[in-house]
């Protein structure tokens, strides 16, 4: 939303160019207090808070988004993407799910699904759930829709098989005992996936290259702090800074699990958050990650963050393709992060 809105002030009885201010607010959603960031329009002449239907609608959407996130409920965009993945009309999609014919339409428009319908929607994004729904509701569907659903299930099965193969490859590659290469932690894909979701959610314009630099700083700084990496990822020297050693496999896992989406933007792809069903981090770890996102957000571009990584001796002292061992940081990464934050603030 813009910082200003053209609206009507009843106190001044005039059209005004009102300033939009953000403040924390609480809205009761299904009997639960939801804390969210509320927009309010303030008259520049008299300071009155102006009621505007457009702003109120956006506030409601924002509160609903917080509620959805807390309860693992799919967003309208996720529901639309799910239906698109099956190639079904709204009517056929509702029938496939066992809903009333207008129900999917309402959820795509922003209504909150109840718990039963929310679970059904989540189930439809899995192979076993899709099979069960098709067996239950096949007679309600046209032959064409049945064919499209079966094709989608086959595609998901192929993706699951490929993910399983990649998981084995990654876990085999990282199966060695914890060492300086992986930061004394075996690779945890669950941690990698969750970290990607958080960074995509909190970092501005998170290009794929910027994401890899961000995870490098997070892992290395956490190693400085605890003598153990956060994820167990291995990093290697590349021309434009450190990269994830198994970056293509990690990218596939993130896309296949639907944790983030890769959107064409400018001269590359940015990561946008979708959903994360498992959050394996402790409160202390989440707090640490949040501090790291503040550091990442001080850089306006992936290039700026890459250039900053070039100052580190652990990158300077390694050759192209060479693994950057965590023990090379010796507190330098944390110092670089602190210096950057101090300079900005």
Per-residue pLDDT tens over the stretch 306-318: 999 999 998 888 8
Residue 1 has pLDDT above 50, yes or no: no
Greater pLDDT, 100 or 165: 100
Tell me the chain's radius of gyration from C-alpha atoms.
24
Residue position matching structure tokens 């501005």 = 204
Token pair in block for residue 278: 């498992």
Token pair in block for residue 148: 């499209």
**Which domains are delineated in the chain?**
4-71 (3.10.20), 76-149 (no CATH), 189-344 (no CATH)
3-class DSSP state for residue 21?
strand
In the chain, what percentage of residues exceed pLDDT 90? 43
Specify the pLDDT at position 168: 54
pLDDT (average), residues 109-123:
89
Specify the pLDDT at position 175: 47
**CB neighbours (10 Å) of residue 216?**
23
Which DSSP letter does residue 10 get?
T
3-class DSSP state for residue 121?
helix
Specify the pLDDT at position 169: 56
**How does pLDDT run across 40-89, given as a tens digit for each residue?**
999 999 999 988 888 888 889 888 888 887 777 888 888 888 888 888 99
In whole angstroms, give the CA distance from residue 84 to residue 198: 25
Q: How many residues does the chain have?
A: 345
CB under 8 Å to 334, separation ≥6 — which residues? 221, 224, 225
Q: How confident is the model at residue 240 (pLDDT cuts 50, 70, 90)?
A: confident
Specify the pLDDT at position 254: 87
In whole angstroms, give the CA distance from residue 103 to residue 138: 18
Nearest residue to 110 via CA among 62, 171, 39, 50: 62
CB under 8 Å to 260, separation ≥6 — which residues? 196, 197, 200, 254, 271, 272, 273, 274
Q: State the virtual CA torsion across 112, 117, 121, 127 in degrees, nearest 10.
A: 170
The per-residue b/e assignment along 34-43, b for 16 or more CB within 10 angstroms, e otherwise, is bebebbbbbb
Nearest residue to 218 via CA among 265, 210, 60, 130: 210
Mean pLDDT value across the chain: 87
Q: How confident is the model at residue 286 (pLDDT cuts 50, 70, 90)?
A: very high
Greater pLDDT, 247 or 69: 247
- Cβ pair 71, 32 in contact under 8 A: no
Helix (H) or strand (E) holding 38: strand 32-42
Token pair in block for residue 291: 């501090």
- Cβ pair 318, 202 in contact under 8 A: no
Specify the pLDDT at position 82: 87
In whole angstroms, give the CA distance from residue 83 to residue 152: 11
Specify the pLDDT at position 333: 94
Token pair in block for residue 57: 């609608």
Residue position matching structure tokens 């299930």 = 153
């Amino acid at each position: 939303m813009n910082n200003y809105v053209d609206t009507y002030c009843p106190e001044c009885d005039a059209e005004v160019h009102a300033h939009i201010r953000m403040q924390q607010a609480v809205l009761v959603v299904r009997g639960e207090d939801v804390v969210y960031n509320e927009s309010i329009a303030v008259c520049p002449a008299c300071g009155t808070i102006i009621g505007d239907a457009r702003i109120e609608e956006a506030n409601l959407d924002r509160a609903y988004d917080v509620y959805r996130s807390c309860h693992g409920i799919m967003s309208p965009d996720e529901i639309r993407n799910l239906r698109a993945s099956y190639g079904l009309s709204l009517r056929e999609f509702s029938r496939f799910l066992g809903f009333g014919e207008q129900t999917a339409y309402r959820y795509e428009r922003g209504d909150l699904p109840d718990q039963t319908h929310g679970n059904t929607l989540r189930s439809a994004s899995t192979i076993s759930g899709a099979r069960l729904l098709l067996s239950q509701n096949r007679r309600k569907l046209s032959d064409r829709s049945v064919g499209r659903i079966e094709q989608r299930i086959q595609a998901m099965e192929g993706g699951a098989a490929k993910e399983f193969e990649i998981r084995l490859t990654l876990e085999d590659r990282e199966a060695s005992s914890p060492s300086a290469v992986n930061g004394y932690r075996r690779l945890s894909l669950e941690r990698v996936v969750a970290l990607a979701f958080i960074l995509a959610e909190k970092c501005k314009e998170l290009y794929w290259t910027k994401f890899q630099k961000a995870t490098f700083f997070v892992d290395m700084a956490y190693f400085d702090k605890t003598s153990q990496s956060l994820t167990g990822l291995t990093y290697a020297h590349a021309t434009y800074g450190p990269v994830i050693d198994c970056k293509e496999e990690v990218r596939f896992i993130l896309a296949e699990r639907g944790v983030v989406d890769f959107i064409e933007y400018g001269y590359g792809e940015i990561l946008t958050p979708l959903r994360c069903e498992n959050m394996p981090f402790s409160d202390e770890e989440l707090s640490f990650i949040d501090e790291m996102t503040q550091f990442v957000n001080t850089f306006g571009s992936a290039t700026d963050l890459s250039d900053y990584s070039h100052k580190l001796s652990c990158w300077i002292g390694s050759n192209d393709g060479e693994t950057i061992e965590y023990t090379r940081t010796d507190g330098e990464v944390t110092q670089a992060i602190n210096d950057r934050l101090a300079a900005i603030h």
